[in-house]
Structure 1
Amino acid sequence: MLKSNVGELAALATAFCWSLSATAFELSGKKVGSLSVNYIRLVTGFIFISVFTFFTRGYFLPIDATSKNWIFLSISGLIGFFIGDLFLFQSYLEVGSRVSMLIMATSPPIAALLGFIIFGEKLRLISILGMAITLLGIAIVILSKNPDEKKIKVTHSVKGLTYAFLGSLGQSVGLIFSKIGMGEYNPFAATQIRIIAGFISFTILFIYLKKWDDLKLALKDKKAMLGITIGSIFGPFVGVSLSLLSLQYTSAGISSTITSIVPVTIIPLSMLVFKEKIKLKEILGAITTVAGVAVLFLF
């Protein structure tokens, strides 16, 4: 029974990994800033994946990639790992990783919509319903009605929510370019190329903003470095590995649906680590959001 459910269990483990990495990155970001966390975790994640590919493929670097692989995966890294994560990690500081991960649940609907526009993929009525349910779940969490003024208001930082949405958009567009650029190429090596593009982009940004002193201070902060290391292990390394393992043993729809429960699995961590008081409507909203993604993929 356990063996027959390897794909589903791997997807579930992926959700927990990403919940843990988001929490760890939020903790570190509050100590040393989101830019430094982004930069260091790319380096750390690259080292882990490179060692893994050396033992599994015989290549420490993706030297067997074609020019098409490099071009489109680099664009994917620029949009996803640089622009998208630049906004996402800042949203951790503005609204917290829990709300950010909730907004990131819009990534599958956005990807489906982009697939329809770019690749001409089918977008059925039930898929549109799934998107609507996902947005409803998010609305339950971030909106509330003022009983006195009888107006609906946003309960979280608009700037933070915007950052999280831009992060979700960056991830979705990045995945589209990954789909074009990866083809049959090894997904771990493809991730290496994406990380290289993100690393170069952040290096240019650090040079422009002259943030090297901030980076030095971050490297000296033991607690921040511990959080970044944990986040790098469970995020771009173990999380990605488990998600790929899941896809080998179960359908993409089931894998994506189970993985998308991060807005729910991150709730206990937020309560434990950040002492957040979670309202019942926020739990309901998170569950509704996940249900919307399930409708999008499974029906």
Structure 2
Amino acid sequence: MIPFVGEAAAMTAALFWATSSMIFSNIGGKAGAQSVNRGRLLCSITCLTIIHWIVEGQPWPHATTPEQIGWLTLSSVLGLVIGDAMLFQAFVMLGARLSMLMMSSVPIMGTVLAWFLFDEVLTPTQMAGIALGVGGILTVIMMRKGRPANLEGRNYLIGVLFGLGGAVGQVSNLITAKYALIGGYSALSATWIRTLVAVLIMWGIAALTGRVRRTIVSCTAPNVRGWLMLGAFIGPAMGVWLSMLAVQNANVGIASTLMATPPVLLIVYEGVVLRRPVGLQAIIGTCMAFGGVALLFLF
């Protein structure tokens, strides 16, 4: 096995998710959070089918047991349907950076649940790395700078709760998917099945509520469709596949910590690319988070 393949997959997934979150936050305000959510799932299953055909030699998975389908279905419902619906609503209310900051609770939940469910044992150094990484992300979260000016009080709390709901969905998705991946089952096939389940459920709900036409019109608008395809490819398609590889090849606590770094990456993006002042607190938090990542890789 290639050393650190799981950790590298988790870190790459984080980069992809940070980028796609900015895209979805931007177009979600134009087309509507749930319309974008349904549209990106349809785009991502198309991308995944092509990728699966190239990598696995067939457009969709075969030789999947009923037990694996059951776990992947549960994973999809908890993560891609419920969790992502909440996260996309948070994108619209809070913006990409603050929404992804709420996801910093994922490694804590993931480590605790993995300890109970999989008897995973972390070394003291790894525990220190996770603590340092989470501490850095929490330091960034505590910043008051950058909070939406027109979102205070009850609405801000609702946005935060939507973001935390997305975090709960993400960790539930990781834990349940782990059961299906035991035994070396293809992470790409697992991603294809999970995405198909989410497409069927989300578009089924849209059909029952009469929102199919509205979704298609919103997602095919000239200023939305191109960005939607790009975001769907790098986020729900490549990002989710890489997250499955990470869970399959790395400790859940370590993988979820690395995949929780998009908030810090977005701070770096704002400071370096957009040249917005981020403040000393954000810089300290960023250094702490990447210091924790270094501990996980080196020891």
**TM-score above 0.5:** yes
The amino acid across from 2:97 in the alignment is: R
Question: Quick check: 1:238 aligned with 2:233?
Answer: no
Q: Give me the whole-angstrom Cα distance separating, in 1, the residues matched to 2:177 and 2:226.
A: 30
Alignment check: 8 A CA contact 1:264 1:283 kept: no
1:216 aligned partner: 216
1:102 aligned partner: 101
The amino acid across from 1:200 in the alignment is: L
Secondary structure of the equivalent of 2:169? helix
* CA spacing shift, 1:273–1:233, aligned 2, 3 Å: farther
Secondary structure of the equivalent of 2:93? helix
Q: Give me the whole-angstrom Cα distance separating, in 2, the residues matched to 1:283 and 1:93.
A: 26
Q: Give me the whole-angstrom Cα distance separating, in 2, the residues matched to 1:201 and 1:295.
A: 40
Deviation at 1:120, TM superposition (A): 3.4
1:177 aligned partner: 176
Deviation at 1:94, TM superposition (A): 1.5
Alignment check: 8 A CA contact 1:75 1:197 kept: no
The amino acid across from 2:87 in the alignment is: L
* CA spacing shift, 1:245–1:123, aligned 2, 3 Å: closer
2:228 aligned partner: 228
The amino acid across from 1:237 in the alignment is: A
The amino acid across from 2:164 in the alignment is: F
Superposition pairs of residues 59-98 of structure 1, within 5 angstroms: 59-98=58-97
Superposition pairs of residues 1-299 of structure 1, within 5 angstroms: 12-122=11-121, 133=132, 136-143=135-142, 157-183=156-182, 184-240=184-240, 259-270=259-270, 277-289=277-289, 291=291
TM-score by structure 1 length? Answer: 0.79
Q: Give me the whole-angstrom Cα distance separating, in 2, the residues matched to 1:7 and 1:193.
A: 21
Percent identical pairs in the alignment equals: 29
* CA spacing shift, 1:259–1:119, aligned 2, 3 Å: closer
* CA spacing shift, 1:193–1:244, aligned 2, 3 Å: closer
Secondary structure of the equivalent of 2:223? helix
Q: Give me the whole-angstrom Cα distance separating, in 1, the residues matched to 2:3 and 2:180.
A: 32
The amino acid across from 1:39 in the alignment is: R
Structure 2: 5+ residue runs without aligned partners? 145-151
Deviation at 1:84, TM superposition (A): 0.8
Q: Give me the whole-angstrom Cα distance separating, in 1, the residues matched to 2:249 and 2:203.
A: 38
Alignment check: 8 A CA contact 1:23 1:269 kept: no
Q: Give me the whole-angstrom Cα distance separating, in 2, the residues matched to 1:248 and 1:135.
A: 22
1:226-279 CA-to-partner distances (Å, cap 9, x unmatched) read 221111121133334556778999988876665543222222444689886533
Q: Give me the whole-angstrom Cα distance separating, in 2, the residues matched to 1:10 and 1:177.
A: 19
Q: Give me the whole-angstrom Cα distance separating, in 1, the residues matched to 2:43 and 2:277.
A: 33
Secondary structure of the equivalent of 1:117? helix
* CA spacing shift, 1:24–1:272, aligned 2, 3 Å: farther
Q: Which segment is superposed worse, 51-60 or 257-266?
A: 257-266
* CA spacing shift, 1:277–1:19, aligned 2, 3 Å: same
* CA spacing shift, 1:259–1:166, aligned 2, 3 Å: closer
Alignment check: 8 A CA contact 2:191 2:240 kept: no
TM-score by structure 2 length? Answer: 0.79
Deviation at 1:67, TM superposition (A): 0.7
Alignment check: 8 A CA contact 1:14 1:242 kept: yes
* CA spacing shift, 1:27–1:271, aligned 2, 3 Å: farther
Q: Give me the whole-angstrom Cα distance separating, in 2, the residues matched to 1:295 and 1:99.
A: 26
* CA spacing shift, 1:220–1:278, aligned 2, 3 Å: same
Deviation at 1:105, TM superposition (A): 2.5
Alignment check: 8 A CA contact 1:61 1:192 kept: yes
Q: Give me the whole-angstrom Cα distance separating, in 2, the residues matched to 1:287 and 1:10.
A: 21
Alignment check: 8 A CA contact 1:21 1:234 kept: yes
Deviation at 1:289, TM superposition (A): 4.7
The amino acid across from 1:224 in the alignment is: V
* CA spacing shift, 1:290–1:167, aligned 2, 3 Å: farther
Q: Which segment is superposed worse, 135-144 or 3-12?
A: 3-12
Q: Give me the whole-angstrom Cα distance separating, in 2, the residues matched to 1:227 and 1:54.
A: 24
Q: Give me the whole-angstrom Cα distance separating, in 2, the residues matched to 1:182 and 1:248.
A: 6
Deviation at 1:139, TM superposition (A): 4.4
Alignment check: 8 A CA contact 1:49 1:237 kept: yes
Q: Give me the whole-angstrom Cα distance separating, in 2, the residues matched to 1:114 and 1:245.
A: 19
* CA spacing shift, 1:252–1:204, aligned 2, 3 Å: closer
1:150 aligned partner: none
